[in-house]
């Protein structure tokens, strides 16, 4: 199965296209100003730790210093360059959605700067160039040299696609040449992998873009070499000391780096969550091209471990700030969680790659959950404020006082010292259409819903719908005869299908046979669902989360008479009402449910003997991704069940 080119699909809906316009108009110009330190913004450290870089981005300044255009020192994280690359990638996708000469000019200038910063031999990483040039590729236990290279590659592919300009691609390929000269199976080359996965999936994308098999082989090498020699990092540290290149003697956590064994033997999601998921996406992409059964089996079992035991209902993952990591199964704390925006992006990607690999629809459900909830929560509706971690329950007072919540921000900051999430959000939204449709042989897959159009050399498909605001979809197909497989999401009910052709209905999809023309009309309902968790997930025990369509809902203070902690719901008697407002987004689907409010708060006592004391209450819920857009507020996703 393969993706369509982003040139072939256009979003036309209010929802995603609305977000894409916001990204083009507000987010991309704003992010440039931040990366260029040209506006006063509050750049916060991602958690309470005075040693972390904060106060400014300096990402473009680092490149200017490396290019010899400016004097100064490197500032920020050792992967600060990747912020610029992800910004460029989002800009490129945005140009595909709508041309913008001013943005394109800005991108060309940044690309010229990157070219100047690149060393003559192809190496490019401002942190190592400016702070420790003799340790290039020698501190892989933490280094993000290849992570940054991966983001450079992804940006270069996007910019080539959008503009046909190949300067950035040439920079990226020259860097890859340098990497290939230093890493590889040959004994004289480095037999280890970078501290943060990303190069693997990017190299497969480069292979897909250029057809150069060497890139696929190099991607495969990086997956194969990780964890092959679990002592690799200890040896590199010892060698640096021996050669007098460094005195650093860090303790390397192999689980954190997914380097405790080779990825193909891994059976659980362990360690740093984004690293894990970027690696798994790379593995799935390689398996698509090599049919490697070991990689496929590992991907399937890792995905299952996540989706069945380690994923929040919002599609975020990562249960602890310590190592930004997965913990054990069924450990999903709602207040101290990590749920970094990047994890949801990575989970959507991994799930999509698994769908392309196996054609199994379960992957699309998870991809959709991540996209419509945790990913979108990553940015405010002004497109200029960003969450790094995405709580499912918050009390701003607790955040202010409790050091264990130092990473949980009650409001989206202007920017972050570790700014991986904001441009990741932008590139994901700007390219969201690539998740909507896929193709294999003579089959077209419709994966997601939203007004959009595909135009290729051999067919056209128009999806007309007001979804998510309405419950009807019409599809008009014209082109070569082919099968159309339309996903049936788990949240559809009362489906009615009308078509000018024949179709068969399966549990998870509808299959149509299109001659040269086909019309399909679907009507369905999106009932308000009271979700419950597996009882092994004790952090959600005796609670319910409200979901409608792909959206998980939450309670926050505005619009509610009682404090959110007092809410109790009885799923059988929700009497839910869905209503559209212009409260947050111009079109927001809110939900009103009947429930009760505990009156025990009237007592001053902290503890007392049980007594039943509830009063009827109407609760107003909003889509989770929109929380935190109306000032400082408490917020909750999981709501206690009313005692009977
Ligand atoms: O290390 C690069 C990125 O920064 C990771 O993916 C995030 O988790 C954050 O640590
Ligand atoms: Zn991030």
Q: What is the pLDDT of residues 193-239, one digit of tens each?
A: 999 999 999 999 999 999 999 999 999 999 999 999 999 999 999 99
Whole-number pLDDT of residue 338: 97
Question: What is the C-alpha separation between 590 and 592, in angstroms, rounded?
Answer: 7
Q: What is the pLDDT of residues 14-44, one digit of tens each?
A: 999 999 999 999 999 999 999 999 999 999 9
Tell me the average pLDDT across 441-456: 97
Residue 453 φ then ψ, to 5°: -145, 135
CA–CA distances in Å: residue 171 to residues 160, 179, 241, 424, 480: 12, 12, 33, 21, 39
Residue 525 has pLDDT above 80, yes or no: yes
Whole-number pLDDT of residue 603: 66
CA–CA distances in Å: residue 576 to residues 470, 529, 530, 593: 17, 9, 10, 5
Q: How far is the CA of 21 from the centre of ligand 2 (A)?
A: 22
Q: How far is the CA of 388 from the centre of ligand 2 (A)?
A: 6
* Contact criterion met (CB below 8 Å) for 524 and 621: no
Beta bridge partners of 528: 548
Place 599 in a pLDDT band, splitting at 50, 70 and 90.
Answer: confident
Q: In the structure encoding, which two tokens stand for residue 522, read together?
A: 């679907």
What stretch of H or E contains 35? Answer: helix 28-35
Atom number, ligand 1, closest to the C-alpha of residue 340: 8
Residue 644 has pLDDT above 70, yes or no: no
Tell me the average pLDDT across 371-396: 98
Q: In the structure encoding, which two tokens stand for residue 443, read together?
A: 């089959």
Segments in 164-250 forming alpha helices (H): 167-182, 199-210, 213-225, 232-242
What is the residue with the minimal CA distance to atom 5 of ligand 1? 274
Long-range contacts of 182-191 (CB under 8 A, 24+ apart): 182/137, 183/137, 183/218, 183/221, 183/222, 183/225, 184/218, 184/221, 185/221, 190/137, 190/140, 191/225, 191/228, 191/229, 191/232
Global pTM exceeds 0.85: yes
Q: Nearest to residue 84, comparing CAs of 23, 180, 149?
A: 149
* Contact criterion met (CB below 8 Å) for 75 and 52: no
E runs forming strands in 526-587: 528-531, 543-548, 551-556, 567-568, 577-581
Q: Nearest to residue 395, comparing CAs of 463, 334, 472, 308?
A: 334
Q: In the structure encoding, which two tokens stand for residue 498, read together?
A: 């009308």
Catalytic residues: 324, 420
Residue 462 φ then ψ, to 5°: -115, 120
* Contact criterion met (CB below 8 Å) for 554 and 637: yes
Q: Nearest to residue 15, comparing CAs of 426, 467, 437?
A: 467
Q: How far is the CA of 419 from the centre of ligand 1 (A)?
A: 8
Question: What is the C-alpha separation between 405 and 338, in angstroms, rounded?
Answer: 10
Place 612 in a pLDDT band, splitting at 50, 70 and 90.
Answer: confident
Question: What is the C-alpha separation between 318 and 337, in angstroms, rounded?
Answer: 7
Q: Nearest to residue 376, comparing CAs of 344, 409, 414, 412?
A: 344
- What's the Rg (C-alpha) of the chain? 25
Tell me the average pLDDT across 488-505: 97
Tell me the average pLDDT across 89-105: 98
Q: What is the pLDDT of residues 107-133, one digit of tens each?
A: 999 999 999 999 999 999 999 999 999
Q: What is the DSSP pairing of strand 43-44 with strand 415-416?
A: parallel
What is the residue with the minimal CA distance to atom 1 of ligand 1? 196
Q: Nearest to residue 52, comparing CAs of 85, 80, 82?
A: 80
Ligand nearest, relative to CA of residue 147: 1
Residue 399 has pLDDT above 80, yes or no: yes
The DSSP call for residue 374 is I
What is the residue with the minimal CA distance to atom 3 of ligand 1? 420
Tell me the average pLDDT across 169-186: 98
Q: What is the dihedral of CA 485, 490, 496, 501, to 10 degrees?
A: 10
Ligand 1: residue of 52, 342, 349 to mutate (most ligand atoms within 8 A of CB) is 342
Q: How many CB atoms lie within 10 A of CB 123?
A: 19
Residue 600 has pLDDT above 80, yes or no: no
Place 610 in a pLDDT band, splitting at 50, 70 and 90.
Answer: confident
Q: Is 420 in the pocket of ligand 1 (CB under 6 A)?
A: yes
What is the residue with the minimal CA distance to atom 4 of ligand 1? 420
Q: What is the pLDDT of residues 293-322, one digit of tens each?
A: 999 999 999 999 999 999 999 999 999 999
Tell me the average pLDDT across 480-488: 97
Cis peptide before 497 (omega within 30 of 0): no
* Contact criterion met (CB below 8 Å) for 148 and 88: no
Whole-number pLDDT of residue 93: 98
In the predicted model, what is the mean pLDDT of the chain? 97
Residue 65 has pLDDT above 70, yes or no: yes
Helices first, then strands: H and E counts in the chain:
18, 24
Q: Is 537 in the pocket of ligand 1 (CB under 6 A)?
A: no
What is the residue with the minimal CA distance to atom 6 of ligand 1? 274
Place 602 in a pLDDT band, splitting at 50, 70 and 90.
Answer: low
Q: Is 196 in the pocket of ligand 1 (CB under 6 A)?
A: yes
Q: How far is the CA of 85 from the centre of ligand 2 (A)?
A: 14
E runs forming strands in 466-576: 472-479, 482-487, 493-499, 502-505, 509-514, 517-525, 528-531, 543-548, 551-556, 567-568
Tell me the average pLDDT across 521-543: 98
Q: Which sign, positive or negative, has the C-alpha torsion 346, 348, 352, 355?
A: positive
Whole-number pLDDT of residue 234: 97
CA–CA distances in Å: residue 42 to residues 79, 291, 384, 408, 411: 20, 48, 12, 16, 12
Q: In the structure encoding, which two tokens stand for residue 169, read together?
A: 């691609």
Q: What is the dihedral of CA 352, 356, 358, 362, to 10 degrees?
A: 30
Q: In the structure encoding, which two tokens stand for residue 287, read together?
A: 């398996």
Residue 10 φ then ψ, to 5°: -125, 135
């Amino acid at each position: 199965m393969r993706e369509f080119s982003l040139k072939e699909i256009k979003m036309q809906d209010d929802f995603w296209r609305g977000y894409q316009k916001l990204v083009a108009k507000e987010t991309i110009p704003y992010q440039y100003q931040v990366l260029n330190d040209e506006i006063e913004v509050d750049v916060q450290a991602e958690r309470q730790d005075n040693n972390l870089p904060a106060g400014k981005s300096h990402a473009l300044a680092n490149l200017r210093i490396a290019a010899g255009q400016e004097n100064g020192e490197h500032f920020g994280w050792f992967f600060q360059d990747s912020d610029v690359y992800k910004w460029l990638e989002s800009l490129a996708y945005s140009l595909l959605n709508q041309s913008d000469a001013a943005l394109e000019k800005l991108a060309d200038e940044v690309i010229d700067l990157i070219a100047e910063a690149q060393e003559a031999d192809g190496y490019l990483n401002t942190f190592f160039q400016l702070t420790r040039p003799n340790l290039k590729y020698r501190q892989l236990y933490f280094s993000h040299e290849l992570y940054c290279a991966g983001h450079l590659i992804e940006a270069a592919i996007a910019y080539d696609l959008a503009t046909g300009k190949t300067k950035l691609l040439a920079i990226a390929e020259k860097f890859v040449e340098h990497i290939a000269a230093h890493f590889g199976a040959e004994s004289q080359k480095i037999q280890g992998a970078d501290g943060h996965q990303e190069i693997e999936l990017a190299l497969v994308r480069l292979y897909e873009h250029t057809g150069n098999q060497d890139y696929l082989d190099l991607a495969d090498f990086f997956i194969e070499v990780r964890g092959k020699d679990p002592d690799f990092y200890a040896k590199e540290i010892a060698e640096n000391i021996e050669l007098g290149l460094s005195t650093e003697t860090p303790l390397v956590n192999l689980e954190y780096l997914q380097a405790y064994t080779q990825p193909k033997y891994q059976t659980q999601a362990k360690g740093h969550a984004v690293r894990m998921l970027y690696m798994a996406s790379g593995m799935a992409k390689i398996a698509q091209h090599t049919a490697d059964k070991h990689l496929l089996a590992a991907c399937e079992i890792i995905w299952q471990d996540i989706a069945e035991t380690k994923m929040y209902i919002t599609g975020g993952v990562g249960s602890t700030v310590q190592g930004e990591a997965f913990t054990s199964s069924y450990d999903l704390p709602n207040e101290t969680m990590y749920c970094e925006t990047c994890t949801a992006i990575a989970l959507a990607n991994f799930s999509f790659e698994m769908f392309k690999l196996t054609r199994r629809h379960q992957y699309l459900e998870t991809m959709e959950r991540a996209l419509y909830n945790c990913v979108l929560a990553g940015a405010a509706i002004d497109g200029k404020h960003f969450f790094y971690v995405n709580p499912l329950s918050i009390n701003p007072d607790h955040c202010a006082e409790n050091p264990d919540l130092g990473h949980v921000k009650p409001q989206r900051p202007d920017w972050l010292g570790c700014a991986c999430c904001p441009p990741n959000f932008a590139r994901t939204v700007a390219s969201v259409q690539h998740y909507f449709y896929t193709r294999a042989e003579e089959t077209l897959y419709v994966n997601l819903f939203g007004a959009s159009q595909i135009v290729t050399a051999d067919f056209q498909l128009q999806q007309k719908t007001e979804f998510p605001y309405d419950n009807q979809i019409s599809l008009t197909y014209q082109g070569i005869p082919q099968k159309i497989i339309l996903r049936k999401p788990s949240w559809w009910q009362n489906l009615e299908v009308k078509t000018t052709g024949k179709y068969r209905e399966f549990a998870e999809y509808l299959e149509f046979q299109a001659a040269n023309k086909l019309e399909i009309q679907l009507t369905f309902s999106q009932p308000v669902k009271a979700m419950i968790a597996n009882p092994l997930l004790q952090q959600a025990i005796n609670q319910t989360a409200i979901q409608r369509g792909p959206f998980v809902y939450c309670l926050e203070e505005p619009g509610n008479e009682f404090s959110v902690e007092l809410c109790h719901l009885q799923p059988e008697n929700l009497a839910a009402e869905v209503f559209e407002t212009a409260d947050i987004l111009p079109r927001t689907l809110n939900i009103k449910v009947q429930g009760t409010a505990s009156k025990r708060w009237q007592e001053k006592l902290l503890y007392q003997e049980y007594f039943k004391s509830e009063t009827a209450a109407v609760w107003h819920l909003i889509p989770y991704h929109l929380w935190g857009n109306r000032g400082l507020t408490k917020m909750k996703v999981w709501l206690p069940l009313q005692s009977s």
